[in-house]
């Protein structure tokens, strides 16, 4: 019973949809991480902690009657400031990329402890009207919270891509990542741009956090459950690429879901990480052109 | 002369040492009894471990209010093993060698208990533990389980469940077994499959997932496709909630469903968990509430759990097993009137202990006694014990849609 079996078309299609939705969340969580790693050379492990902190704050605010999506109005600017502050510290103490990994790992532990102190280690589930909403397209059920995540992930990924590609700020950021000295010679204000970008990355973590709260049950220790798969999406998508994490995340999500539909669910991580290795071997560095 | 002088000095020194030793002995016998343990106060197991911390605090406070054990107050030395069995081993070593605790109590959960058991065995200490999920791994003669799941739960627990279903309004013919690969879950699900086979039930689906799986959508889809009469979910923690959430998204309601070790609070509060079945050793209802210490403990636990912000402030398996562990240790100490581990161990093996779970024995395989796992069901948003009949209250019966 646990071996390979041919699924029905409905089962396969529903599973692909489910994989696409969870993949979009991988992409959304990976977007800020990828930008920070690729353009700022900051391997920000605290990105996951920030996402969970935002999720808990969303849970708290929603518990006091605020619409979960409206919490973004508060959370996005707050996390922008938090990210900019972290970047200011990193710049002030000239922390190297490797040391940034250690610094942000420590910060993750601190944020986890703060979450546990305030909300305890117990599980928390956001109860919202969105949780019960779904509609049917043909034979497929489309849950609204996951659809919101998907739409936000796609919209934000394309928005960031457009900014990086078409605006002076985006070009300056890419130039600074390519060659900081030459970019400075051309008058690029790297300090200001870095603060802006770091703030944006944390704001993106806040958006991902709200999406997490909409669909998942929260526990402080869950922070680490996302690290592996989101890192895989970031590496597959290419560092500093706006669309990369979304495409790679979706690829991983769908491959996991199809594996679960066709064979044993316990094979899902094996398939997705094998996919990562194969792609890195044959197309090192990135999957997205 | 020299000899005399030396003898005098020796005599003085010996007297001093003797007096110091006596003072130490007197201090040790009049000071608190120090009980050492670790708990997963942080890390992935902390959500459940905080229940054990709360229970331990309550028990020590209660015991000290009644004068402690053997006329001595209790002091609980509890360290954070961060949900890491390897760290638990180091900390238990510290508790014995550096902290020099008088007695040990088990950590949470199975992995850490096995680590602690190794240390206890090395130093010949009694180890009463709360929730060891795999009895066959308990090889040490001075370990004592507080969770009464019997020595062969993979056979006895599924049999109890299928007995309950067979006596219910819709005995199932087809079963889907979906399960986590978490060690203490996987062997129980494997046992359930064997029991099903022997009872002539048809398995229409068997799926396993890795611990920590995030996407339950495809699993829900496959259960729906298999159209079972009954779903055995080898769930731990939030697996059950996540699977039910995923089922709701595809408009599927399992006809009859069972969850092995769910996080107790979150599942019962989920509307989709209506009629969900699970196992328990204790619920806040008669006849359990008449067991030793139950009434006072339930009241205190409610107060403290609410104050601590726990999502579910009711006493169930985890809290009950935790309290029972303290009761077992107390029984051993008071009966032997001392802290000698061998004497305590020998007494526990030879006697029954009256606890929150009832009268427990420790003379079976691996010091496990009877399987006291009962079947409970979510009815009107509450857990209600529905099987066996002798432990149900107000005529509660298993319901099926």
d(CA B218, CA A180): 47
Q: Do A125 and B266 lie within an 8 Å CB cutoff?
A: yes
* Section B386-399 average pLDDT: 93
The answer, yes or no, to whether the previous bond of B304 is cis (omega within 30 of 0) is: no
User: Number of folded domains in chain B?
Assistant: 2
H or E stretch including B389?
none
Q: State the pTM of this model.
A: 0.84
Burial class of residue A195, CB neighbours in 10 A (0-12, 13-18, 19+): buried
Q: What is the pLDDT of residue B183?
A: 85
* Section B37-45 average pLDDT: 88
- Token digits of residue A238: 């290419």
Instruction: Tell me if B2 is assigned to some domain.
Output: no
Q: Please tell me whether residues B242 and B385 are part of one structural domain.
A: yes
CA distances in angstroms from B113 to A17, B68, B78, B87, B128, listed in the order given: 41, 26, 14, 11, 10
Instruction: Tell me if B15 is assigned to some domain.
Output: no
The conformation of residue B108, written as its DSSP 8-state character, comes to: S
* In the predicted structure, residue A1 carries a pLDDT above the cut 50: no
Q: Please tell me whether residues B229 and B213 are part of one structural domain.
A: yes
Give the model's confidence band at B259: pLDDT under 50 very low, under 70 low, under 90 confident, else very high.
very high
Nearest to B46 among A17, A116, A258 (CB): A116
d(CA A201, CA A32): 4
Instruction: Tell me if B179 is assigned to some domain.
Output: yes
Rg (CA), chain A: 19
Assess contact for B191 and B146: CB atoms under 8 A: no
Instruction: Tell me if B196 is assigned to some domain.
Output: yes
Q: Please tell me whether residues B159 and B211 are part of one structural domain.
A: yes
Q: Which residue of A has its CA nearest to B40?
A: A121
d(CA B312, CA B321): 16
Q: Is A145 on the interface with B (CB under 8 A)?
A: no
Contacts of A14 in chain B (CB under 8 A): 217-218, 221, 250
- pLDDT, tens digit, 9 for 90 and up, residues A5-54: 677 889 999 999 999 999 999 999 999 999 999 999 889 999 999 999 99
Contacts of A253 in chain B (CB under 8 A): 215
Q: How far is B231 from chain A (nearest CA, A)?
A: 15
Q: Mean pLDDT of all residues in chain B? A: 91
Contacts of A219 in chain B (CB under 8 A): 44, 47, 238
Q: What is the pLDDT of residue B1?
A: 37
Among A256-260, B5-9, B312-316, B356-360, the range with the most confident prediction by mean pLDDT is: B356-360
Smallest CA-to-CA distance from B245 within A209, A261, A125 is with A125
Question: C-alpha A224: how far from its chain's center?
Answer: 13
Question: C-alpha A112: how far from its chain's center?
Answer: 18
Q: Please tell me whether residues B299 and B366 are part of one structural domain.
A: yes
d(CA B185, CA B208): 11
Q: Is A68 on the interface with B (CB under 8 A)?
A: no
Q: Please tell me whether residues B187 and B263 are part of one structural domain.
A: yes
* Section A243-265 average pLDDT: 92
Instruction: Tell me if B24 is assigned to some domain.
Output: no
Residue in the block written with tokens 């999720």: A55
Instruction: Return the percentage of chain B with pLDDT > 70, whole number.
Output: 92
Q: Please tell me whether residues B107 and B162 are part of one structural domain.
A: no
**Could you tell me which residues are beta bridge partners of residue B257?**
B231
Question: C-alpha A42: how far from its chain's center?
Answer: 15
Q: Do A221 and B46 lie within an 8 Å CB cutoff?
A: yes
Q: Please tell me whether residues B256 and B204 are part of one structural domain.
A: yes
Q: Please tell me whether residues B232 and B326 are part of one structural domain.
A: no
- ipTM for the predicted complex comes to 0.78
Instruction: Tell me if B323 is assigned to some domain.
Output: yes
Determine the structural domain holding residue B387 and report its residue range.
153-280+375-391
Smallest CA-to-CA distance from B108 within B130, B86, B126 is with B130
Q: Please tell me whether residues B267 and B164 are part of one structural domain.
A: yes
Beta-sheet strands, E only, within B42-142:
74-80, 103-105, 127-129
Give the model's confidence band at B17: pLDDT under 50 very low, under 70 low, under 90 confident, else very high.
low
Please, which residues have CB within 8 angstroms of residue B178's CB and are 6 or more apart in sequence?
B205, B206, B207, B208, B209, B219, B222, B223, B231, B232, B233, B234, B243
**Could you tell me which residues are beta bridge partners of residue B377?**
B277, B384
Instruction: State the CATH number of the domain containing residue B387.
Output: 3.40.50.2300
Q: What is the pLDDT of residue B107?
A: 97
Q: Please tell me whether residues B261 and B327 are part of one structural domain.
A: no
Q: Is B308 on the interface with A (CB under 8 A)?
A: yes
Q: Do A121 and B217 lie within an 8 Å CB cutoff?
A: no
Nearest to B207 among A10, A219, A264 (CB): A264
Q: Mapped to the 3 state alphabet, what secondary structure does chain A carry?
A: CCCCCCCCHHHHHHHHHHHHHHHHHHHHHHHHHHHHHHHHCCCCCHHHHHHHHHHHHHHHHHHCCCCCCCHHHHHHHHHHHHHHHHHHHHHHCCCCHHHHHHHHHHHHHHHHHHHHHHHCCCCECCCCHHHHCEEEECCEEEEHHHHHHHHHHHHHHHHHHHHHHHCHHHHHHHHHHHCHHHHHHCCCCHHHHHHHHHHHHHHHHHHHHHHHHHHCCECHHHHHHHHHHHHHHHHHHCCCCCCHHHHHHHHHHHHHHHHHHHCCHHHHHHHHHHHHHHHHHHCCCCCCC
Give residues 218 to 237 of B whose Cβ lies within 8 Å of A.
218-219, 221-222, 224-225, 237
Q: Is B125 left (phi over 0), alpha (psi -120 to 50) or beta?
A: beta
Residue B296: CB atoms within 10 A of its CB come to: 10
Q: What is the pLDDT of residue B2?
A: 41
Contacts of B49 in chain A (CB under 8 A): 121
Q: How far is B210 from chain A (nearest CA, A)?
A: 5
Assess contact for B386 and B377: CB atoms under 8 A: yes
Residue A279: CB atoms within 10 A of its CB come to: 18
Q: Do A121 and B50 lie within an 8 Å CB cutoff?
A: yes
- Mapped onto helix, strand or coil, the DSSP state of residue B360 is strand
Instruction: Tell me if B109 is assigned to some domain.
Output: yes
Smallest CA-to-CA distance from B206 within B197, B138, A44, A183 is with B197
d(CA A120, CA B232): 30
Nearest to B215 among A121, A134, A256 (CB): A256
- Token digits of residue A29: 């969580």
Smallest CA-to-CA distance from A11 within B302, B219, B339 is with B219
DSSP β-ladder status, B127-129 and B103-105 = parallel
Smallest CA-to-CA distance from A116 within B300, B51, B309, B76 is with B309
Q: Is B242 on the interface with A (CB under 8 A)?
A: yes
- pLDDT, tens digit, 9 for 90 and up, residues A110-156: 999 999 889 987 788 898 889 889 999 999 999 999 999 999 999 99
- Token digits of residue B72: 């001595």
Q: Please tell me whether residues B115 and B188 are part of one structural domain.
A: no
Q: What is the pLDDT of residue B20?
A: 53
How many contacts does A have with B, using Cβ atoms within 8 A?
A: 129
d(CA B298, CA B314): 7
Give residues 178 to 217 of A whose Cβ lies within 8 Å of B.
216-217
Q: Please tell me whether residues B261 and B379 are part of one structural domain.
A: yes
Nearest to A260 among B218, B265, B266 (CB): B218
Assess contact for A213 and A55: CB atoms under 8 A: yes
* Section B296-316 average pLDDT: 92
- Token digits of residue B114: 């096995």
Instruction: Tell me if B200 is assigned to some domain.
Output: yes
* In the predicted structure, residue A289 carries a pLDDT above the cut 50: no
- pLDDT, tens digit, 9 for 90 and up, residues A182-236: 988 888 888 999 999 999 999 999 999 999 999 988 988 889 889 989 999 998 8
d(CA A163, CA A171): 8
């Amino acid at each position: 019973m646990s071996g390979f079996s041919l699924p029905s078309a409905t089962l396969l299609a529903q599973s692909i949809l489910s994989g696409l939705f969870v993949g979009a969340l991988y992409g959304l969580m990976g977007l800020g991480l990828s930008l920070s790693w690729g353009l700022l050379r900051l391997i920000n492990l605290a990105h996951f902690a920030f996402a969970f902190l935002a999720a808990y704050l969303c849970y708290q605010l929603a518990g006091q009657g605020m619409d979960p999506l409206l919490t973004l109005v508060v959370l996005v600017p707050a996390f922008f400031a938090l990210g900019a502050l972290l970047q200011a510290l990193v710049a002030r103490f000239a922390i190297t990329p490797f040391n940034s990994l250690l610094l942000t790992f420590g910060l993750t532990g601190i944020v986890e402890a703060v979450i546990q102190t305030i909300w305890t280690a117990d599980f928390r589930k956001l109860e919202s009207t969105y949780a019960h909403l779904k509609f049917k397209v043909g034979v497929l059920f489309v849950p609204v919270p996951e659809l919101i995540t998907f739409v936000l992930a796609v919209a934000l990924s394309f928005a960031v891509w457009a900014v990086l590609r078409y605006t002076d700020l985006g070009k300056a950021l890419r130039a600074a990542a390519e060659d900081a000295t030459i970019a400075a010679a051309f008058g690029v204000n790297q300090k200001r741009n870095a603060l802006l970008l770091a703030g944006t990355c944390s704001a993106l973590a806040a958006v991902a956090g709200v999406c997490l709260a909409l669909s998942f049950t929260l526990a402080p220790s869950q922070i680490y459950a996302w690290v592996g798969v989101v890192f895989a999406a970031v590496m597959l998508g290419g560092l500093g690429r706006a669309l990369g994490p979304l495409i790679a995340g979706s690829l991983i999500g769908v491959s996991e879901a199809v594996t679960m539909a066709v064979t044993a669910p316990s094979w899902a991580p094996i398939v997705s990480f094998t996919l990562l290795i194969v792609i890195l071997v044959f197309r090192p560095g990135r999957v997205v052109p | 002369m020299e000899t005399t002088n030396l003898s005098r000095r020796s005599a003085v020194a010996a007297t001093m040492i003797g007096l110091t030793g006596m003072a130490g002995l007197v201090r040790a016998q009049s000071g608190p009894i120090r009980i050492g343990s670790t708990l997963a106060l942080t890390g992935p197991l902390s959500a459940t471990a905080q229940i054990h911390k709360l229970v331990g605090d309550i028990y020590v406070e209660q015991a000290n209010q009644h004068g402690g054990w053997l006329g001595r107050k209790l002091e609980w030395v509890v360290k954070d093993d961060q949900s890491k069995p390897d760290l638990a081993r180091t900390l238990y070593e510290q508790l014995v060698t550096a902290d020099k605790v008088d007695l040990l109590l088990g950590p949470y959960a199975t992995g850490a208990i096995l680590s602690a058991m190794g240390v206890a065995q090395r130093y010949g200490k009694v180890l009463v533990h709360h929730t060891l999920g795999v009895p066959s791994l308990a090889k040490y003669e001075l370990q004592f389980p507080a969770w009464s799941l019997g020595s062969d739960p993979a056979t006895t627990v599924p049999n109890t469940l299928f007995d309950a279903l067979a006596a219910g309004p819709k005995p199932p013919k087809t079963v889907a077994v979906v399960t986590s690969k978490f060690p203490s879950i996987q062997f129980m699900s494997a046992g359930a499959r064997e029991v099903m086979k022997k009872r002539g039930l048809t398995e229409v689906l068997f799926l396993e997932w890795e611990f920590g799986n995030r996407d339950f959508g495809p699993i829900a889809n496959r259960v729906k496709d298999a159209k079972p009469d009954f779903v055995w979910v080898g769930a731990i923690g939030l697996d059950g909630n996540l699977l039910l959430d995923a089922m709701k998204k595809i408009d599927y309601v399992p006809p009859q469903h069972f969850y092995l070790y769910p996080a107790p609070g979150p599942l019962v509060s989920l509307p989709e968990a209506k009629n969900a079945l699970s196992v328990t050793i204790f619920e806040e209802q008669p006849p359990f509430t008449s067991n030793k210490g139950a009434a006072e403990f339930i009241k205190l636990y409610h107060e403290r759990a609410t104050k601590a912000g726990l999502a579910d402030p009711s006493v169930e398996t985890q809290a009950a097993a935790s309290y029972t562990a303290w009761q077992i240790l107390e029984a051993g100490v008071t009966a032997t009137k001392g802290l000698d581990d061998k004497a305590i161990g020998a007494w526990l093996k030879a006697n029954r202990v009256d606890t929150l779970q009832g009268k427990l024995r420790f003379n079976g395989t691996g010091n496990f006694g009877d399987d006291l796992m009962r079947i409970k069901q979510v009815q009107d948003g509450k857990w209600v014990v529905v099987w066996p009949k002798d432990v149900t209250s107000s005529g509660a019966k298993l319901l099926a849609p």
